[in-house]
Amino acid sequence: MNPTSPTASTTRHHTIRRTAGVAMTAAAILAGSVVAVAAPAAASPHPAPPAGGSMRDVAQQMLAIGNPGYLARINDGRRVSKTVAGVADMATGRALRADDQFEIGSNTKTFTATLILQLVDEKAVALDAPVSTYLPGVVPNGDNITVRMLLNHTSGLFNYTGDPKVLALMQNDPHHDWTERELLDAAFAHPPTFAPGKGWSYSNTNYTLLGMIAQKLTRSSLADLVRRRIARPLGLKHTYYANPRATDTGPGYAHGYAIIFAGGTPKYTDHTGANIGGWAGAAGAVISTAGDLSRFYSALLKAELFSRAQLRQMKTTVALPPEFPIKGRYGLGLIKFDTPCGTAWGHGGDTQGHHSTTAVSDDGRRTAISDSTGKAGDLAPNDGITRWTNAEFAAQKVAVCHMLGTPVPGSLVRELHGTTP
> Which pLDDT score, from 0 to 100, does residue 27 have?
34
Question: Once rounded to an integer, what is the mean pLDDT over residues 222-231?
Answer: 98
Residue 218 lies in a domain: yes
Helix (H) or strand (E) holding 248: none
In a domain, 154, yes or no: yes
Split into its structural domains, the chain has a count of 1
Which position has the higher pLDDT, 37 or 227?
A: 227
Question: 259 near 267, Cβ under 8 Å?
Answer: yes
Mean pLDDT of 150-179: 92
In this predicted model, what pLDDT tens digit does every residue of 341-399 receive, in sequence order? 999 999 999 999 999 999 999 999 999 999 999 999 988 999 999 999 999 999 999 99
Q: Considering the candidates 54, 81, 106, 155, report the single residue annotated as catalytic.
A: 106
232-249 core/surface letters (b: 16 or more CB in 10 A; e: else): eebebebbbbbbbbbeee
C-alpha–C-alpha distance, residues 175 and 218, integer Å: 28
**How much is the pLDDT for 25?**
36
Is the residue at 6 inside a domain? Answer: no
The model's pLDDT over 242-301, given as tens digits with 9 standing for 90+, comes to 999 998 777 799 999 999 999 889 999 999 988 999 999 999 999 999 999 999 999 999
Tell whether 164 is covered by a domain.
Answer: yes
Tell whether 10 is covered by a domain. no
Per-residue confidence (pLDDT) for residue 247, from 0 to 100: 87
CATH number at residue 66: 3.40.710.10
Q: What is the pLDDT of residue 173?
A: 86
pLDDT at 421: 60
Share of residues in the chain with pLDDT > 90 (%): 80
**Which of 136, 128, 413, 388 lies closest to 268, judged by CA?**
388
Bridge partners, residue 345, by sequence: 336, 360
Greater pLDDT, 52 or 324 = 324
**∠ at Cα 87 (66, 231), nearest 5°?**
105
Q: Has residue 112 been placed in a domain?
A: yes
pLDDT of residue 222: 97
pLDDT the model gives residue 171: 80
| Residue 353 belongs to domain spanning | 55-88+101-243+255-417
What pLDDT is attached to residue 153? 98
Show the CA angle centred on residue 203, arms to residues 198 and 205, nearest 5°. 110
Q: Using alpha carbons, list the distances in angstroms from residue 64 to 13, 363, 386.
A: 19, 34, 13
Q: Is residue 277 part of a domain?
A: yes
Count of beta carbons in the 10 Å neighbourhood of residue 375: 23
Number of CB atoms found within 10 A of residue 251's CB: 11
- Neighbour count for residue 414 (Cβ, 10 Å): 15
**Whole-model pTM?**
0.89
Answer yes or no: is 96 within a domain.
no
Mean of per-residue pLDDT scores for the chain: 88
> Does 99 score more than 90 pLDDT?
yes
| Catalytic-residue membership of 106 | yes
What is the pLDDT averaged over residues 70-99? 97
